[in-house]
Amino acid sequence: MSSAKKQKMNGGALMRNVFDILIARKSAREYDPRVVSIEIVREVLKDAGRAPSSKNTQPWLVAYLSGQPLEELRRKMCGAFETGLPADFEIDSGTFEAYLPRAKKLGKDIFAWKGIDREDLEKRHLHAKENFRFFGANQIFIVAVRKEACNEKAIFDVGIFSAYLMLALESRELGSCPQMSTLAYPQILRDAIPDSENWLPLLTLPFGYPKKGSHLNEFETEREPLGSWAFEVVGK
């Protein structure tokens, strides 16, 4: 009997494993040179495909890039960033005003973690460029929906799928880092995917084996206290 089947028969062991995965996942921004095998990549996608969706519509589209196609995409994305090509976000990428303090704190915290002074414009520029390098990862997913099918419901479904995708990676001790900054250049992303003119990219996800001993990968974001976002409505 496979270990997976044994685990499914032992509810307690499975629950602990899921709990560990949920707690362990955090964004990885440095990767070692190893390439995840295509067999594992397909297993991850198959597992993520179990995500629930409204009326089982499963609206997500995923492109997997590695090797020369990824290097070409990396070159074009960095070129666009370095030349100051105007961003062309096709979905609202703004931050709700009430959440701006959290976003600003994250920026301050990660700069402090990386030892980047607020006035060091060169290092801040290189920090931003890392997004368009996909943090040097050897493999990425581009997650999208069809333009004509994009609405709030589809975006919600893709969000659930993306969480499943990251957890499927984490369950195999693979790191990832969800990105929206790369959506600044959606046409460059589409150009990397054959027959994708009707795709609307929603997320890029660099992934791979996290670099061991990486100080950057030890960075963890803070979480708001439960009482600030969870409300109990109970009767007597």
pLDDT of 6 above 90: no
pLDDT of 8 above 80: no
Question: Max alpha carbon distance in the chain (Å)?
Answer: 63
Mean pLDDT of the chain: 93
Q: What is the mean pLDDT of residues 13-18?
A: 66
- Each residue's pLDDT tens digit, 166-222: 999 999 999 999 999 999 999 999 999 999 999 999 999 999 999 999 999 999 999
- Each residue's pLDDT tens digit, 30-66: 999 999 999 999 999 999 999 999 999 999 999 999 9
pLDDT of 11 above 50: no
- Each residue's pLDDT tens digit, 122-157: 999 999 999 999 999 999 999 999 999 999 999 999
All structural domains of the chain with their residue ranges: 29-220
pLDDT value at residue 12: 52
pTM (two decimals): 0.91
How far from 40 is each of 43, 83, 121, 168, 208, CA to CA, in Å? 5, 37, 40, 10, 11
pLDDT value at residue 17: 86
- Each residue's pLDDT tens digit, 60-107: 999 999 999 999 999 999 999 999 999 999 998 889 999 999 999 999
Q: Which CATH class is domain 29-220?
A: alpha beta
